[in-house]
Structure 1
Amino acid sequence: MRRPMAAVASTVFFVLGPGSVAGLVPWLLTGWRVSEPIPYWAPFRVVGAVLLAAGVVVLVQAFVRFVVEGQGTPAPVAAPERLVVGGVFRYVRNPMYLASLAAIVGQALVLGQLVLLLYAAAVGVVAAAFVRWYEEPALSRRFGVQYEAYRRAVPPWWPRRRPWEPGESHRDGEQQ
């Protein structure tokens, strides 16, 4: 896929995918109304704002990486031509799911809407199942040995301490 088309398709998927999961649904659940679940909630709001901002930044960076490095989109219908392993993907295999969860949890804390924590848990379970039963097998079939080396070296959910370098075979570069 050519980069301009990949950029347009990624933008559309960004709005439909993470935009719906981390934006529209939280709004539908809460109306983005602020509540005060317990006294002295302010420190939680600060943490929430940081999580929300970090989640958005990581999502945007990951989507850009799909266009620039992968020459495609994160959407399965317009999958990248190349395996995307740069940027935040050097630390963790599933940064987009983690960033979406951070954005949802961030909203829960900023708004004091604890229902969003339950929603985040549900999204996390669905994402983990999707990764395990669809995404990993599909990437294995599509990219073979290259994906398997990446999969062995980069953890799916908890980021590495140091960025992975292609050719490095073990997690965090430790020899086994």
Structure 2
Amino acid sequence: MGVSKRHADPTAGRTSRHVPPPVLAAGALGAQVLLSEKHERTKRAKAAGTLVAAGSLLLMGGAVIEFQPYHTTVNPKTMDTTTLVIEGPNRFTRNPMYLGLAGLLTAHALWRRSWSALIPVAAFALVIDRTQIPAEETVLQQRFGAAYERYRATTPRWIGLPRRN
């Protein structure tokens, strides 16, 4: 289920330095390599990392697949955002793709068996949470109004149980 609307781009004419989230994630991955020592992988570390990576890929892939029938974009800051997608993984988190990227970084830390490799995961989540997500939420609020407010009131930004409104 989705809520469709077409509006003019509320961000048109604004200039800002925007680093795409996948680039931020790649930077966090590089920081993980630099900050942590790679320890010998154990069966447990491989299994834990693989489970977290698989779950993260399913979360991200499921979200992308959910967007396809609506012919909308995964980037809500573009004029192509025509539908508020609230099904699939978006029922449990408003940001399944960012949660998935953070999960992949966590999986990498598990594979490396390094506590210090979790620092870039936290930094990535903090930057996304304080810069990217608020900008996207502003656009979604402007485009979808009350429908977005209902969604926001019942679905956690990152992870948790959906709330009843």
- The answer, yes or no, to whether TM exceeds 0.5 is yes
Aligned partner of 2:33 in structure 1 is 30
Aligned partner of 2:153 in structure 1 is 152
How many residue pairs match? The answer is 145
Q: 1:134, 1:157 → 2: CA distance?
A: 15
Higher-RCO chain (CA-CA 8 Å, sequence separation at least 6): 2
**More displaced 10-residue stretch of structure 1: 107-116 or 53-62:** 107-116
**TM superposition shift of 1:111:** 2.2
* 1:116-135 alignment runs, 5 A limit: 116-131=117-132, 133-135=134-136
Task: Note closer, same or farther for the CA distance 1:29–1:132 as it changes in structure 2 (3 Å cut).
Answer: closer
* 1:26-105 alignment runs, 5 A limit: 26=29, 29-30=32-33, 35-36=38-39, 41-69=42-70, 71-74=72-75, 76-77=77-78, 79-105=80-106
> Taking every aligned residue pair, what percent have the same amino acid on both sides?
24
Secondary structure of the 1:76 match is coil
**TM superposition shift of 1:43:** 2.3
Q: TM-score, normalised by structure 1?
A: 0.68
Residue segments in structure 2 that go unaligned for 5+ positions in a row = 1-19
Q: 1:23, 1:78 → 2: CA distance?
A: 26
**TM superposition shift of 1:98:** 1.1
Greater share of helix residues, 1 or 2? 1
- Contact 1:22 1:103 (C-alpha < 8 Å) held by counterparts: no
Q: Deviations over 1:93-130 (max 9, x none)?
A: 11111111111000111122444311101001011112
Runs of 4+ in structure 1 off by over 6 angstroms are: none
Q: TM-score, normalised by structure 2?
A: 0.72
- Contact 2:29 2:105 (C-alpha < 8 Å) held by counterparts: yes
Aligned partner letter, 2:124: V
Secondary structure of the 1:160 match is coil
Q: Deviations over 1:19-40 (max 9, x none)?
A: x444575257529x98227xx9
- Contact 2:38 2:113 (C-alpha < 8 Å) held by counterparts: yes
**TM superposition shift of 1:139:** 0.9
**More displaced 10-residue stretch of structure 1: 109-118 or 70-79:** 70-79
